[in-house]
Amino acid sequence: MTASRYLEIADELAGELAGAAPGTRVAGEYGIGRRFGVGRAAARAALQELERRLIVRRVQGAGTFVNRRIDYTISHDRRPSWHETVTAAGARPRSVVRDIGTAGLPAELADRLGLPAGTPCHRLVRQSYIDDLLASRGYEWVPVALVADLRPAMHAAESLDLVLRQVGRVDPVRAWCRVSLDVPPPDVCAGLEVEPSRPCWLVESVSRDRETGRPLMCSSSWMRSDAVRVVVELGSTPEGE
């Protein structure tokens, strides 16, 4: 067997999976080895190559699945909403609240929201999915004065943007945003199910009410780079596009 055999296998599988729905289960190392008559090392290398090309994703303890990377677009013309942004990209969004509690606003976030440090806020920890594959882990701070009972509201609606609009009677717009690519801390890596050395997108943002400028929330979201490509759009669309 030639050293490039695993690449030939990966190319053939990539062609077969091109039209498969995201989340479709892919044969594992044993199945690929039997089909192509190669050892486990070559089968593993072929799967790793597909993963490197962002065609598949391995989920520990569950198997290997067809992956799809979407453009997560950030612009002044779009709501600061995970659900709406993912839906606009043609995928299915889902969010799960992992933790929600009340705490004083940390000093390092006080300036972002323009509120005194220690201001009572709800702190949410959420994991978000694209086509049922884990994609993001977010940490969000919402002033208690805006929505007193956030827990039941989030149980009724997955979208925080929708809750703020319906319960807080506000119109959230993204007032500030910073995007970087970095290696998450260990607890985030564990939550996102990524290797400790894999870089992820970090999207930090602040939302305010469109009409009054009232601070509504600030967030830090770590997004898997194999799930999204973060696209930041500034200004108007260039002529000819």
Residues 102-149 pLDDT 10s = 999 999 999 999 999 999 999 999 999 998 889 999 999 999 999 999
Whether the predicted pLDDT of 39 surpasses 70: yes
pLDDT of residue 21: 87
The pair of structure tokens assigned to 200 is 């992820």
- CATH 1.10.10.10 in the chain is located at 5-66
At 164, give phi and psi (nearest 5°).
Answer: -60, -40
- CATH 3.40.1410.10 in the chain is located at 70-232
Facing residues of 65 across strands? 25, 57
241 band by pLDDT with thresholds 50, 70 and 90: very low
What average pLDDT does range 194-206 have in this prediction?
92
> Containing H/E element for 17?
helix 5-17
Neighbours of 45 (CB within 10 A): 19
pLDDT of residue 169: 95
**Cα separation, 102 vs 123, whole angstroms:** 6
Q: Which CATH architecture has domain 5-66?
A: Orthogonal Bundle (1.10)
What CATH fold (topology level) applies to the domain 70-232? Answer: Chorismate lyase (3.40.1410)
